[in-house]
Amino acid sequence: MKNAELVRRKDAATPRGVGVMCNFYAERAENSEIWDVEGRRYIDFAAGIAVLNTGHRHPLLVAAVQKQLERFTHTAYQIVPYASYIELAEKINQRAPGQWAKKTAFFTTGAEAVENAIKIARAATGRPAVIAFSGGFHGRTMMGMALTGKVVPYKVGFGPFPGEVYHAPYPCELHGVSVEDSLKALQVLFKADVDPKRVAAIIFEPVQGEGGFNVAPAAFVKALRALCDEHGILLIADEVQTGFGRTGKLFAMEHYGVAPDLTTMAKSLAGGMPLSAVCGRAEIMDAPAPGGLGGTYAGNPLAVASALAVLEVLEEENLIARGAALGERLMDRLHSLRPRVPQIAEVRGLGAMVAVEFQQADGSPDAEFTREVQNRALQKGLLLLSCGVHGNVIRFLFPLTIPDAVMDEGLDILADVLVR
């Protein structure tokens, strides 16, 4: 089997709207490495878009799924429940930010988690409006797109979107948006567009994913918490990409000293199996009536088994601390390259959620250089992902289980493609 033949078949059989970054096809994977159908090896600094914090095919996850396969694969939790769903909910409730009674519901995708968080917030408050932020990404469903603050490629051609969704600028010092600017914009929204008494929730990413790995300043997060408390608004932390050790904590909100009312999670929750969740204050989670939450595959038993193993691996292998150390190692390497790579405008991140942004000499975004870096790295066997509203940011999402030797190899390739 050849990659070129598979590309031809893909183009004939699948729509162009399903964009595919790589022109090769995976045959097998192990930890932080992938081999294609022609036998070529790649170092994976993408991890299925932040899904594989515990690496490809971790033995404990494989064993957990195999064990569940021998018992049953599906009953629909809402029809015939199973104990593992409850066990995982209990563990999430114990670990999610917030010193209060919590409850958790499981779904399948990150977009589903976000949609259901909005449903729960509206049911709990009786209010319709939601505020999100520019540069944010919350999914490809209709509500997810409405909340997302990036038009191309996620929103273009798909409107109209659900109403009562408002956007404010997300703070980013490099782009000239201060914490004060963002907070003033929220006050302008309250004066000009929506009465705060009509706002059910403010949703934000503690570290923006598709938006460019912009890290929310502590002052901003604490101000959001105070603003929500003042007006009876629920604060939703979208931790779909930041969760499960990526930022040096189990959840990114642990860095801030304040807790959201609701937390959405997915991606590395189940280490490659499709599973998402909403966790929040018990009384808020109980607002929807029976039958208002769920889904045919929501909380699939195979995915739940994998998620329980993920929590075990994170603890046993001390991966949260390892992620923080790997992130520091990467940032040190990027900073050391700045004198030789004038396109580097900023290196930023939290824990192992690290990005580098490129600009031209006049300060404008350099998306072309970003694409060149990504393509040259791919040719040398290193998978990198881009992001940012202008497509001028490279983000790093290597598995936290990556062996030191493979990490060093990947960093050497990165240095080689950055320095022209």
Q: Rounded CA gap, 267 and 275, in Å?
A: 7
16-62, pLDDT tens digit by residue?
999 999 999 999 999 999 999 999 999 999 999 999 999 999 999 99
pLDDT above 80 (res 315): yes
pLDDT number for residue 249: 98
Please state, for a pLDDT cut of 90, what percent of the chain lies above it. Answer: 98
* Domains of the chain, first to last: 3-57+318-418 (3.90.1150.10), 62-316 (3.40.640.10)
57-114, pLDDT tens digit by residue?
999 999 999 999 999 999 999 999 999 999 999 999 999 999 999 999 999 999 999 9
148-178, pLDDT tens digit by residue?
999 989 999 998 999 999 999 999 999 999 9
Region 333-341: mean pLDDT is: 97
Count of Cβ atoms closer than 10 Å to residue 268 Cβ:
27
Residue 420 pLDDT grade (very low, low, confident, very high; cuts 50, 70, 90): confident
Beta bridge partners of 382: 43
Residue 1 pLDDT grade (very low, low, confident, very high; cuts 50, 70, 90): confident
Q: Rounded CA gap, 323 and 399, in Å?
A: 8
- How buried is 97 (Cβ within 10 angstroms: 0-12 exposed, 13-18 middle, 19+ buried)? buried
183-204, pLDDT tens digit by residue?
999 999 999 999 999 999 999 9
Q: Rounded CA gap, 162 and 146, in Å?
A: 6
Q: Rounded CA gap, 201 and 231, in Å?
A: 10
Region 365-386: mean pLDDT is: 97
Q: Rounded CA gap, 104 and 27, in Å?
A: 36
Average pLDDT, the chain: 97
Q: Rounded CA gap, 328 and 336, in Å?
A: 12
CA-CA-CA-CA dihedral for 196, 199, 200, 203, to nearest 10? -100
